[in-house]
Every structure is written in structure tokens, then in C-alpha cells.
Chains A and B, each alone.
Chain A
Amino acid sequence: MTEIKFERKHLFRRLGIFLMILGPGIITGSVDNDAGGITTYSVAGAEYGYGLIWTLIPSFIVLIVIQEMNARMGIVTGKGLADLIRENAGIKITFFIFIGLLLSGIGNTTTEFAGVAGSMEVFGVTKYISVPIVAVMVWFLVVKGTYKIAERIFLIFSLSLLTYVISAIMGKPDWKEIGTAVIRPGVEVNTRSMTMIIALVGTTIAPWMQFYMQSTVIEKGLKMKHFRYTMADIIVGCIVTVVVAFFIIVACGSTLHPNGIVINEAKDAALALRPLAGHLASQVFAFGLFIASIFSATILPLATAYFVCEAFGFEAGIDKKWDEAKEFFILYTGIIVISVIIILIPNAPLIPISIWSQVINGILLPVVLISMMILINNKKIMGAYTNKPFSNVIGWGAVSILVILSLTLLILPLINR
């Protein structure tokens, strides 16, 4: 007798869908600009000026294509990437990928805590105070179940990454020169520049993010019919990543590079900015680094522990009790503890550690991408949603370039020795 009145709810539902879906891509994009990323961009800017900015363009395209595939796989199968790899790629490849993921997880987490230590040192706080406090805070935040709230707070905080725009503008960059550098890319081919390019690509497209993206999509319960919202979210996330990277390179390229200042850590960049761009620029830079480091230090160990457990069939989840998910909690706590210990060792070899985790990333990325390409083209898994030719060309193209780059990275040091 009564027709239901749906119209009233329409606007709210639209808005709801938008807010609900706007998430995975933006979160992943923000986590992407972690301490390791900021360091790499700063070093690239200081050493090559605007010379390597052009690498952000291919990275941007590949990033979008890869994340789109992750989102599509997550929505269609409802399964995590770790699950899919375990079920289809066999145990040996799974073992290789996840041992690599675990090692790079520890390496990356160490880099995050190095970011915490470095940024707080700019404000005059010693790492022996800042790192343990942040580590304990992160551990409790996650284990005591307020992780979702934390994620949202960090997401708002991650807007502070845009402070790099301020830092960059304070350095009074020459926009004409930047434009020319982007349009007419040029690199000298040598070990140092190749390593830099691999590091730039490797930090922008980190292997663990593929897993993270896919599980976030599943958690949000997204549907294929809302895919254009998801796509918008992914593109916004990728733009955030690339824009922040761009301004970090510009900030360092316009101030440090002309003065010939060579840096090794993001902290050096913050400190070096002080006399050239002013106190505020330096502190803004350090604050951004601090927030980015904590954000990623919260997500990385948790995500790594989770994916390893998913692949090997251990029970996982922060809502589980210790006895139910022993392996998960040991892994999660272990990653944090090991990273903190490494940082707190006086004169810890931070640079080799960050280079080695980049190398592991570099080897892992093509393996993960090849698995992804095979999975997403499998009709039995993806049904009608297998890759279109466009995605396949970009996907396999990216895989080949990454394999060549990674091989170069591995072989060059041997040749030069």
C-alpha cells in the first residue's frame, strides 16, 4: 500500500558513499611519504637540484595503474593479496616474498624511527627520549584497539605534509628552471644517479603498499559499482604523494643544491634549510618529517605482521587475545623492538640499513608485481574483471623497467669494485 520514500535519504547516501570510499587511496598515498621517502627526496634534491624531478611523472602513472589493479582485485575477490599469492603462486614464492617483506618491514620501520629521532633532534630532543616514548605510544595505540581512531587522526595530521609547500616557497625557487627540468629531462648515467633513480621509484612504489592498499579496500567493503569513486580516491592519493615529493625536491633543490651542501638524512635537510630559508622553514620541515614518521611507524609494523600471518595461515588481528594470535603479536612487537634497538645503538649504521632495505624493496617489487600481473589476468580469479590491454602494457612495462633497474642496482656495485 505504501511506496517507500527513499528520496530524502538520497543526498546523504551519496555523501556517505563518497566519504566511506574516500580513504584507501588517500591513506596509502599519505603513508607512502614516510621518513624513507622524505629522506630520498631531500637527498635527490640536494644532490641533483631539479634534475630528477621528471622521474615523478612515470612514477605517478605506474602508481595509479598498480593501485587500480590492487583495488580491483580486492573488490572482485574479497581476498587479500597475501591470500591470493599463497593460494596461487605456491609455497616457495610465497615464502620468498614474505621473508623479504618481513626484512624490508624491519628496515623500513627502522627508517621511520630514524625519522622520529632526527626530527625531534631538530627541536633539541635526544633520540634516547623521543624514540622509546614514540615506540611505546605506537604499540599501545594499536594493541589497545584505538587504531581506527589513530588512523583518522593521522590522516588529518598528514595534511601537515603540505607544509613542504611552504618550505619550498620560502626557498624562493626558480619556477622557470623547474619547468625546463621537467620538460627536458636529462641524467648522466653513472652508478650514483642510477641508485638515486631506483631509490626514488622504489620509495614511491613500495612493495608492502600493494598489500596494504588491497586489504584496506576489502576492509571498507567497497563494491564494483562504486569503482569511479574508488578511482577518484586513488588518483587523489597518488597526486598527494607526488605533489609532496615534488615540493620536497624543490625545497632542497632551490636551497641546498646551489650551495653544494650534501646531506645523508632528512634531518640534515631540515638543519641545512635553517640558514638558507629561515628558522620557520626548517622547523616546518622537521614537523612534517615527525608526523610522517609516526604515521608510518604505526601502520608499517602492524601491516607487515598482518600480511605475513595471512600468508602463512597464522591467526591475526589486534582484537585477538595473545594466546589466540601468538605469532601475530610476536611479529608485531618484534618488528618494533628490533627497529628501536637498532636506532638506539650509538653510531648505528643507519645509512647502510636504509640502503639495504631499499635493495630488498628493489628485488621484491618486481616479484610482487609479476605475481599481481599473473593473478589479475587469471579469469578463474577475476572473472570479467581481468586487465584491459592498457593496464597490461603499463603493468608489464613497469615490471620490465623495474627489473632492469633492480638488476642494474645489484650489478653496478660489483662492476665498480
Chain B
Amino acid sequence: MTSLTTFYLSGITGKEVFDADGDAIGRIKDLLVSAVPSGQADPNQQLVTGVKLKVGKKTGFYSFKTFRISKAREELNVTCTGLVELPGEEVDNGLLLVENILDKQIVDLNGRKLVRVNDVRLATLASGTFAIAVDIGIEGLLRRIGITGPIKRLLSFFKIKIPTRFILWDDVQAIDFSNLNIKLSKSYARLHTLHPSDLADIIEELGNKSSTSVFSALDEEKAADVLEELETDAQIHIVESLPVNKVADVFEKMPADEVADIIDELEDDKAELLLKEMEAESSQEVRELLEYDDDLVGSIMTTDYLSFTSTKTVEEVLNELRAKKPEAAELYNMFVTENDDRLIGTFNLRDLVVSEPEKTIGQIMKSEPVSLLDDQKTSAIAEVVSKYNLLAVPVIDQNEQLQGMVVVDDVVEDLISERRTRKRRK
């Protein structure tokens, strides 16, 4: 019926709506789109479903179905064939373009960062009106202030074009839902596609309220990965603003050394509360790590490591690994211990893969392994890691019993900064 009409949110808000006879009905305050994505390819997730309309002195939500937007000579006209009130439930499930999107920060999923919305571009097709893109460019800014025309004319003298920047609606995630009652985990669904470190960067940049609500919408696994990646300040903010049981659940999914680092920064009673809430096994590991001073190897070692007896065969070990599905870091280096936990050798994934299945670990391991002492200063790690090219170094105590391992991922930042200061000193 109608051909494609495109327009901007800034152009439609404040517009007067007319009925079939040409009488004014009210003024448009805001547009409602369905916020909950029902699937990636579903076009309905960007369909405009409702209008916030000011009729007389009252403001209410009405279904968009009876509205029509057309463009004649660059002028937008809005007509309505009759007001149909929108059920409250549909309002709750929607996203208000002016209130939740315009001027707010949203996540650009492709650029993996926060951007500020200057305007929203919409289009009317035969099947309805859709939000198609958000405008984050300078042109959108000027349009909102109402000086695009003069500036464009001025710049055309110098043959300069005002830069335009749009992001497709599919590639953005709204952040601010503060006024709506919708379930957050559903509305932040698109954030799950982001890498934990990108998510952490975004959460760090958000305000206090939004960062907490985005974080609490993540499932425990993802939340654990993200919490690990956050800066200390942000970690503390998140931990202190979420309920203790939720934090304890997330902590249980994290390596004990990371948890110990966070707990070390908390107030004593909060720390104790969290440790009590965690499962006994996990909290015990954390407590042990907390006993080490900050500058000792023990404070940054992880207690998640794999150790085997020397009599196991390669095949048995491989089967165990398949069943256990350990984290990548645990496979950097695996250890061989005697019955009393004394470390006698190490082997890595390559050693396993290239060996005959029936060989024993004792035959393929490297004996007299390089190791660190748990009460050694952390400054010793750098030398060991770079000298022996190790991804993970076993940590033993005075009795040569295996206590944990230091993973290169955890020390790489210290290594880099140490190198820098050394360079500067030269």
C-alpha cells in the first residue's frame, strides 16, 4: 500500500496527530517498540507497537496499529483512525524510544563498546513501522539542536560533509530499563554474544545502577568470567551491591586465587559473610590462599591444577581428562605426585598426545621439575617463567608437597609492567 517512508524519532516526537476529518487528537510523546527479542531473525522485535500520546492534559499509551505516518514534501503527517488503548502488559514488555534510548548509552555489539544515541531512524513499510537504526553521528546531534540546515550550507562552501554514523537496530543493546518492570535477564539477552573481557570493559564504563543490573542479568558461568576480568574498583562495587548468596554462587565458579584477591579487598565482616555462604570446599581453598601475604607466590597461585600418580597410563589420563573437561589453563602443565603429595615430575598435553597409549606417566614425565616455593617473593616468578618458557609453574611448600600452580595469564601484566620500569631505569 504505502511505499517506504523513513523518518527520525526527533522528527516525530511532539508531532500533532490528526483524525480522518483533519481534527487534532493529541501530541506524540514517545514510541514503544517490543523490547524482548524473540529470536535473531524476527523482524517483530523492532516493530513499533505503541504510542505515548498526550491527549488534552492526560498522557496514555495507545496501540500503533491505527496510526499512519506519511511524508509529503519533507513534512511528516500522522493520522489516526481511532484510539485503542494498549494493555499494561504490552507497555511493560516494550522499550520506549525517547525514555530508554534517546540520549542514553547503549552497547554497540559489533564495536563492542558504549555509544550515545543522538537519534533513532525509523521506517514505515507495508507490514508496519520499524526502528531500523540508531544515529550516533554528529549529523544526528545537529538535527536535534535544529541547526543541520545552516551548518550544512556553511560546510558545503568548504566541501565538507557532516559525518553520519548509524548502527543497525539488530546490532545494539539498550542498557537503561530503570522505569520498566520487564525481566532483565531476557532484555539483556544480546549481551551474551560478547566476550567476557569486552563485557567487563562495558560494565566498568556504566553508571553504578546499570552496571549492577547488567551484571545480575548474566548467568553464573558468564558472571564468573566477567567478574574475573573487571578492575578491582568495579569488582568491589559489584560484590557489594549484589545479594550475598548471588555473589557466593558466582565465586564458586571462579578460580580460588581470583576469589581470594577480591575478598582481600573487602571489609572483614562482608568477607566472612561471603566465605560462610560459599560451599565449604570452595571457601576452604580461598581461606588458605588468604593466609599468604600479597607479595608471596602463594597469594597468586591457583589451586585448580591436575595431578596424577606415575603409575597411570597415558590412555587412562586422557580418559580422565575427557571426563573432567578441565579449564584450558589447567592443561598448560600437569603434575606427577607421590602418595604424600610430593611433586616428582611434570608433563604437558603434547607429551600425552605424542606418546603410546599404554606408556605410563612415569615414563613420559620430566623429572626434577622446575618449581616455585609458596613463600617465595612474587618477583621470582618472572625469571622462572621466561628462563624455562613455562606456561604454568608448580608451587611447592618447604616439604616439597604440591600446593598449586602459577599460571602465566595471572602474572603477564606484572611481567609487562616490570619490564617497562626496568627499561625506564636504563
Contact = CB atoms under 8 A, between A and B. Distances in A.
Contacts of B179: 380
Nearest to B233: A221
A76 B268 CA distance: 23
B118 A313 contact: yes
Contact of A78 (B104, B136, B208, B272): B208
Given A91-B103, A313-B118, A4 B208 contact: no
B342 interface: no
Size class of the B contact interface (CB-based, 8 Å):
20 to 34
A95 B145 contact: yes
Interface stretch (A79-87, A108-116, A292-300, A335-343): A79-87
A312 B145 CA distance: 12
A92 interface: yes
A378 to B, nearest CB: 12
Contacts of B178: 380
Given A78-B211, A91-B141, A92-B145, A4 B115 contact: no
A223 B232 CA distance: 13
Contacts of A86: 103, 116
A267 B43 CA distance: 68
B236 A221 contact: yes
B262 to A, nearest CB: 14
A6 B267 CA distance: 9
B144 interface: yes
Nearest to A99: B145
Given A91-B145, A313-B118, A79 B207 contact: yes
Interface string B167-180: 00000000000110
Nearest to A94: B103
A2 interface: yes
B237 A221 contact: yes
Interface in A1-54: 1-2, 4-6
Contact of A77 (B118, B207, B236, B290): B207
A315 B113 contact: yes
Contacts of A223: 240
B186 interface: no
Nearest to A79: B207
B128 to A, nearest CB: 28
A95 B209 CA distance: 26
Contacts of B271: 4, 6
Nearest to B211: A78
Contacts of A2: 287-288, 291
Contacts of A90: 103
A77 B208 CA distance: 5
B206 interface: yes
Contacts of A77: 207-209
A1 B281 CA distance: 11
Category for how many chain A residues contact B: 20 to 34
Nearest to B288: A2
Interface in A310-325: 312-313, 315
Contacts of B211: 78
B103 A76 contact: no
Contacts of B237: 78, 221
Contacts of B232: 221
B38 interface: no
A87 B104 contact: yes
Nearest to A1: B284
Contacts of A91: 103, 118, 141, 144-145
Interface string B195-225: 0000000000011110100000000000000
Nearest to B272: A4
Contacts of A312: 116, 141
Nearest to A5: B291
A4 B287 contact: yes
A87 B103 contact: yes
B208 A6 contact: no
B242 to A, nearest CB: 15
A390 B268 CA distance: 35
Contact of B290 (A4, A87, A380): A4
Contacts of A6: 268, 271
B280 to A, nearest CB: 10
Report which residue of B178, B233, B240, B272 has the largest number of chain A beta carbons within 10 angstroms of its beta carbon: B233
A76 B241 CA distance: 12
A331 to B, nearest CB: 13
Interface string A215-242: 0000001010000000000000000000
Interface in B240-299: 240, 268, 271-272, 275, 284, 287-288, 290-291
Contacts of B136: 313
Contacts of A313: 105, 115-118, 136
Contacts of A78: 206-209, 211, 237
A70 to B, nearest CB: 15
Nearest to A4: B290
Nearest to B265: A13
A376 B18 CA distance: 39
B145 A83 contact: no
Contacts of B145: 91-92, 95
B135 to A, nearest CB: 10
A170 to B, nearest CB: 41
Interface string B107-125: 0000001011110000000
Interface centre among B118, B178, B207 (most CB of A within 10 A): B207
A211 to B, nearest CB: 16
Interface in B298-328: none
A398 B118 CA distance: 33
5 contacts: A78-B208, A92-B145, A221-B237, A313-B116, A313-B136
Interface of B: 103-105, 113, 115-118, 136, 141, 144-145, 178-179, 206-209, 211, 232-234, 236-237, 240, 268, 271-272, 275, 284, 287-288, 290-291
Given A1-B284, A92-B144, 10 more contacts: A2-B291, A4-B291, A76-B208, A78-B208, A91-B103, A91-B145, A95-B141, A221-B232, A313-B115, A313-B117
Nearest 3 CB-CB pairings of A with B: A313-B116, A221-B233, A78-B208
